[in-house]
Structure 1
Amino acid sequence: MNLITQVFTFLSDQLLKMTWLFRLVETLVEKVFGLSIQDRVGGSIHFFIYDTIKIFILLSVLIFAISYIQSYFPPERTKKILGGIKGIKGNILGALLGTITPFCSCSSIPIFIGFTAAGLPLGITFSFLISSPLVDLASFLLLMSFFGAKIATAYVVVGLILAVIGGSLIDRLGLEKYVEGYVREIPNVDAEIPEMNRKQRISYSKDQVKEIIHRVWRYVLIGVGIGAVIHNWIPQSMVEQWIGSNNPFAVLLATIIGIPMYADIFGTLPIAEALFMKGVGVGTILAFMMAVTALSLPSMIMLSKVVKRKLLGVFIGIVTAGILIIGYLFNAFAYFFI
């Protein structure tokens, strides 16, 4: 058992946390730039270079692997899988299928439109819409590299629970009439499900890596830059005053701050890492990440073109309430995860 633990720790340190890269960048900063990583400038440069390279390496490998898996589940097949299942089972399956789609919230909405036009129950499509940007296999492994297995697993579990409960509530409220009429009128064409051979799947996976990296690289750099500033330049006392454990409104503030931002989870991770190092509560950090990924302002503007105000308001209300509950519960029971 001890040997298994040692092997797991070694793989986690070298493959996920990339300790070797941390030391390599430390050598670069100290020997080439002549700066100490204990100082603000040196620490900021080290944080920026190390986190940027680590995220892009992990992102490329993980998106390739996940896209290869996803090639077996094109939207046409996903619609067929979901089409025969109703009720809570459908919500669970919709949330789980969302985890194998490496989409941000904005790119999930066209899939949501396709599912709705195909006549899938509204609650199932919303479970998918919540889960898709919030939780995926890549985010789980990236979270492990930053925060460890306990927090990563907890994030995925609560994200799926939020997707299932949110979709189920929307289904029970019977809000189908608040979907814009043109969505229902889109012709539902049962396209033949394309079959790929191994070479095509590899080519598809490479294209997905290029597309997603092209889409997120700006947000990753911005996120790493903000993280470097928080980690090295903002005093811990200031962070604790605003969103520290002594502020009862910390989770609410983190959620409000996160909503206007537009990034997927890959851009929020460096900020979350810097906040974690400053002693911010786990629940507050998760609330921030969930707000950015599930309730970003640009995606809500896009969704408002698909659903009417009442349904949009219900969706925002349910997801916001869920994020706040998750945030406060995680802060209260943080000793389980740290």
Structure 2
Amino acid sequence: MFGWLEQLADGLVYQVFKLDANDHLAEALHFFIYDSIKIILLLILVIFFMGLVNSFFPVERVKNYLTSHNLFGFEYLFASLFGVVTPFCSCSSVPLFIGFVRGGISLGVTFTFLITSPLVNEVAIGLFIGLFGIKTTLIYVSTGILLGTISGFILQKLKLESLLTPWVQDLMKEDRNLDNHFLPVKISFSKRLKSIFKEALIIIKGVLPFVIIGIAMGSFMHGYIPEGFFETYLQKDNWFAVPIATLLAVPMYSNASGMLPVLQVLVSKGVPLGTAIAFMMGVVGLSLPEAMLLKKVMSFKLIAIFFSVVSICIIISGYLFNIFL
């Protein structure tokens, strides 16, 4: 499907820029041109398609449904699935976290959404399919959903409400029965398309810098880091590789779209897929910028517990990926 793009990258690198095929710069530039166009095209297609879906499936409706129905324990799974269809990074999920808690949704269910939303969303799924195929994508999505569901369930059982900041606890004490239910409004399809297009542009503008940075990092790694470099430290036989990759990821920050080009290069350089995915999950789902934002709504102790539970789940997922893939 992207054969024309390969020819375009070849033409630009070897004919227009006249670089030698064995040159490190040529390899890096070829990777950057090819992956930039490929991922941006996938990005536009997926975001616009999911805009159509989300226009008929608004956030407020799900929030009200989770608040007003007894779901017999399945609310964690529903919150995780809701996280999949919302294209938020870990930092932009925090305002929704506050809205969920204030709306009466349990802390565990809210954590489930906070974990899954940046980790697995329609943008990441579309790009993942393009880069790794349907089988790997299905396993990744299933793992992400289970990770969010199980983490949220564990965090709920720990009864951590007292570790929320006084500001959030004050919000929770306010009247939760305000009439904020979803009211269906008839909107013409042409108006919906205009709204979807505007929202898609906003999302693309927000995601694009991370994508370009991720592709640039991937290009440098692809062109200049020698084969076998990562295998030395993150090989499958090293049982500490997955925890090391997860811990190394925490100081970094990006979204799933920006990390996928890096993930692609790590795998091509010999890093086992499970270890590489654990690294990506750590960058996307756990980051220092996210911790700073969460400080507004959580105590340091709660942030530490949250990061620890999610880290353990990510590490387990990484090991399982390495075993079965």
| Alignment partners' CA distance in 2, 1:104 and 1:300 | 13
2:56 pairs with 1:65: no
Pairing partner for 1:191 from 180, 188, 193: 180
Tell which deviates more after alignment, 48-57 or 26-35: 26-35
How far residue 253 of structure 1 moved from its aligned partner, in angstroms, is 1.9
Alignment partner, residue 274 of structure 1: 265
What count of residue pairs does the alignment treat as equivalent? Answer: 318
The sequence identity of aligned pairs, in percent, is: 39
| Relative contact order higher in (CA < 8 Å, ≥ 6 apart) | 2
How far residue 197 of structure 1 moved from its aligned partner, in angstroms, is 3.3
| Alignment partners' CA distance in 2, 1:285 and 1:234 | 16
| Alignment partners' CA distance in 2, 1:296 and 1:139 | 18
| Alignment partners' CA distance in 1, 2:224 and 2:319 | 27
| Alignment partners' CA distance in 1, 2:196 and 2:22 | 40
Pairing partner for 1:42 from 26, 43, 57: 26
Q: Which runs of structure 2 are paired with 1:76-95 in the superposition (5 Å)?
A: 76-83=60-67, 84-95=69-80
Per-residue displacement from partner, 1:265-319 (whole Å, max 9, x unpaired)?
Answer: 0110111111111111011111011001110110121112111233222211110
| Alignment partners' CA distance in 2, 1:176 and 1:236 | 48
Alignment partner, residue 118 of structure 2: 133
| Alignment partners' CA distance in 2, 1:305 and 1:177 | 14
Q: Which runs of structure 2 are paired with 1:6-155 in the superposition (5 Å)?
A: 14=1, 18-83=2-67, 84-155=69-140
| Alignment partners' CA distance in 2, 1:171 and 1:301 | 22
Gaps of 5+ in 1: 1-13
2:206 pairs with 1:238: no
Letter of the structure 2 residue corresponding to residue 69 of structure 1: V
Per-residue displacement from partner, 1:226-245 (whole Å, max 9, x unpaired)?
Answer: 11111111112322112222
Normalising by structure 2, we get a TM-score of: 0.93
How far residue 192 of structure 1 moved from its aligned partner, in angstroms, is 5.2
Whether the 8 Å contact between 2:272 and 2:322 is mirrored in structure 1 is: yes
How far residue 45 of structure 1 moved from its aligned partner, in angstroms, is 0.7
| Alignment partners' CA distance in 2, 1:152 and 1:37 | 32
| Alignment partners' CA distance in 1, 2:196 and 2:166 | 35
Letter of the structure 2 residue corresponding to residue 65 of structure 1: F
Normalising by structure 1, we get a TM-score of: 0.89
Gaps of 5+ in 2: none
How far residue 48 of structure 1 moved from its aligned partner, in angstroms, is 0.6
Letter of the structure 1 residue corresponding to residue 129 of structure 2: M
Q: CA RMSD in A?
A: 1.7
Whether the 8 Å contact between 1:37 and 1:46 is mirrored in structure 2 is: no
How far residue 85 of structure 1 moved from its aligned partner, in angstroms, is 3.3
Alignment partner, residue 300 of structure 1: 291
